[in-house]
Structure 1
Amino acid sequence: MSDIVQHPLDGPSFVRRILRSPSAAMGSAIVLLILCLALLAPVIAPYDPNLQETVNRLMPPSAAHWFGTDGFGRDLLSRIIYGARSTLLLLLFVVLIMAPLGIAVGLVAGFFGGIVERILMRITDVVMSFPRLLLAFAFVAIMGPGLVNGALALSLPSWPAYARQARVETERLRRSDYLAAAEMVGIKGIRLLYGHVLPLVLPSAIIRLAIDLSGIILAAAGLGFLGLGVRPPTAEWGAMVSEGTQVIFDQWWVAAVPGFAILITSLAFNLLADGLRDILDPRHV
């Protein structure tokens, strides 16, 4: 029974395990660096990201502009730093909508079973039957571009995977001796569900979420590339890549710099996800 009660999220040793994992430590360091850049953008950015200077348009990387300038003369380094804000904020909104919604549906379906489970799982199957990116693009096309609409478009088609995973684990835990012992001491209903089942379901949900984060970043960049993301002139990496494709053969840095930022951020979350899988999944210990 002790093996079921204890899980990797308990105790301060979790941080030490992250530091001992090379991939998790490297991914965490890069993610923290990007987060610091986003939070300190007004202090770190050398120029106003929306300042247009036509005399400096399409300048190559130099001492004055480390990453060069775009077609409007805006400093690319400043726009990359501010673009991290848009990407991480969109990512935060998606995480706050997608994971809690899916986990809640899965917990309720797996715990109560019967007609409740059948109804919730059929709804889940209907949502999963649609291609996620196609549904996201259709949603943004209908509702219009914007940060909130982009977050809703990316999160609403993505929660069923968390629901199905949480339902399977909750159904297995419902028949365990651990929950039977908790019910014998008077812990029942919602208190049992969210006080004892949820903590045991969270590790696997965190692993899936970490794995999905890089895909969410690429999907968000895809929305921006198609003009369905954050509204201009707000800096956004996908939109910056789209602008750079118009001059990619002569001024390659306009598209390469934001593309490299997307690559590094996705790689960081992939490394973090790989490390978290080794730490939180007992099958990889």
Structure 2
Amino acid sequence: MEKIAELAQVIDRHIAKSGISPTAMPRLSLIRAAQPSIPTPAVYEASLCLIAQGSKRVSLGEHSVVYDASRYLLVSVDLPLVGHILEASAQTPYLCCKIDLDQAALAELIAAQGGGVPHGDRPVLAVYPSDPDLIDAACRLVKLLDRQESIATLAPLIEREILYRLLTGPHGAVLRHIATAGSHLNQVTRAIAAIRKRYDTQLRIEDVAAEAGMSASSLHAHFKAVTRMTPLDYQKQLRLQEARRLMLTDGASAGSAGFAVGYESPSQFSREYRRLFGAPPRQDIERMQAAPVTRIAL
């Protein structure tokens, strides 16, 4: 608990306003909220999320997990989740650090360790009991923000330590599968990257399957098993979330935002937007502007 309190203090020192703040370290973000949020859809990159204060629920389809200072979240592949901050107040804000996984460094560590890929269940979204060594490493990483001249030298070393502790923890199996060429999780990860790269164009399943090294039928089955949705539904979420960002942060109209992300029919865009976010585009944006804290999704 002492290290969690220290982590909370350093996060609190470096993020004063509610929201998600990038840092001088490209894979580290800090998150703060002064009140609970409404459930908010967002794509979570493969990452480690450590809450230092407060609690949160994230859902993938009908599967939900809750985490707090005693349990951390590991998202092993980019997933469209719904996040809902449960505990936060002005006096005791929600404080969290998010560390994106460096896939290249992860692959290097696995190669250095050698050994085969283990069998067994491989959940790509899960929470685990707090690990003092992992918290200590994360705390040292965030504290580098107090000594930015040390970031270039020390951040890669601490990130590598964090990846090592993840590999040797209860989630090591899923990370090994993702980094192992030819495994279904590795192939789905490549398919996800292909869809994210061209989310605003017409999606041809055969092209995505070829990039992933799978047949179209195999891609469909394994993609849905991992993400709880089809590749087309995954692309749809990417499009709608980017359109929401364009309207909220860039002031784009619903028509121009829909067109920018690949929709040719305004009515189809509005219908699918309402299905995901619970309100038509204009009403949803007005609601979010009236309550900025609800924008926090991570």
- TM-score band by shorter chain is under 0.3
Q: Whose radius of gyration is greater, 1 or 2?
A: 1
Q: Where is the helix percentage greater, Structure 1 or Structure 2?
A: 1
User: Could you tell me the TM-score, scaled by structure 1's length?
Assistant: 0.25
User: Could you tell me the TM-score, scaled by structure 2's length?
Assistant: 0.24
- Higher RCO, Cα 8 Å, sep 6+: 1
Q: Where is the strand percentage greater, Structure 1 or Structure 2?
A: 2
